[in-house]
Amino acid sequence: MTFSDIFKSSFLENVTEFSAIDTLIGMVFALVIGLFIFVIYKKTFSGIMYSTGFAMSLIGLSLVTTLVIMAVTSNVVLSLGMVGALSIVRFRAAIKEPMEIVFLFWSLAVGIVIGAGMIPLAVIGSLIIGGILVLFANRKIHNTPYILIVNCEDEKAEESTLKLIGEAVDRFLVKSKSVNASGIELTAEIRVKDAATSFVNRINELKGVSGATLVSYNGEYMS
């Protein structure tokens, strides 16, 4: 059997059939759920710089994945070719926030599920995931974490600083201490209730303290 005979066979004629209505319905649902993922990402974003390009890519990823899965499920021969073609695709985009991985996999999963024809599963699953993410994102943090850096001239100033910190914050933990000819540098992780930071001014006014710096802490600046 030659390649010409294969392409003329009734087998290929049967597997290349697809429903335009089903395709349209699937793409519409992929677009709607993709927009839902976009809104959830925008609502729950807590990073430093919001990326509109990444948010828009979540919608496109849902649509593209749906289209690919529809092609794979409707054509056996094409599915074999896509397996080989997609195996050489490599992505080099850096992930800035851990939560971005969740949204990327969410968009991919939606495209795969809708492309496979399980639209109710995609809708119900997305509603559950979106609700959970919004619930935890809007949870009030009672003790805001910060990193406090204080420059002291001598040990007496260090003791006064630690005493004032202990009185002003809920709890603190000294992360590092550097001693050199210019003095002592203390770095502490502190927990502040209701984001009250006026105590930093009082620390800076202590005798022997040359400077105090407070930095918002998300667990990535130091180990």
Residue ranges of domains in the chain: 3-137, 143-216
Over the Cα atoms of the chain, what is R_g? 28
Give the pLDDT confidence of 83-102 residue by residue, as tens digits: 555 555 555 666 677 788 88
Contact status, residue 125 vs residue 79, Cβ threshold 8 Å: no
Residues of the chain with pLDDT under 70: 1-18, 47-48, 74-95, 138-144, 194-195, 217-223
The CATH fold assigned to 143-216 is Alpha-Beta Plaits (3.30.70)
Give the pLDDT confidence of 127-159 residue by residue, as tens digits: 999 999 988 876 655 566 788 899 998 888 888
Residue 37 has what pLDDT? 94
Residue 63 has what pLDDT? 92
- Any residues with CB less than 8 A from the CB of 66 and at least 6 apart, and which? 26, 27, 30, 110, 111, 114, 115
Amino acid at 36: F
Residue 174 has what pLDDT? 87
Q: How far is CA 65 from CA 16, 68, 87, in A?
A: 19, 5, 15
Q: Helix (H, G, I), strand (E, B), or coil: what is residue 140?
A: coil
CA angle 73, 75, 78 (to 5 degrees): 110
Residue 201 has what pLDDT? 87
Q: How far is CA 142 from CA 8, 132, 193, in A?
A: 70, 20, 6
Residue 125 has what pLDDT? 94
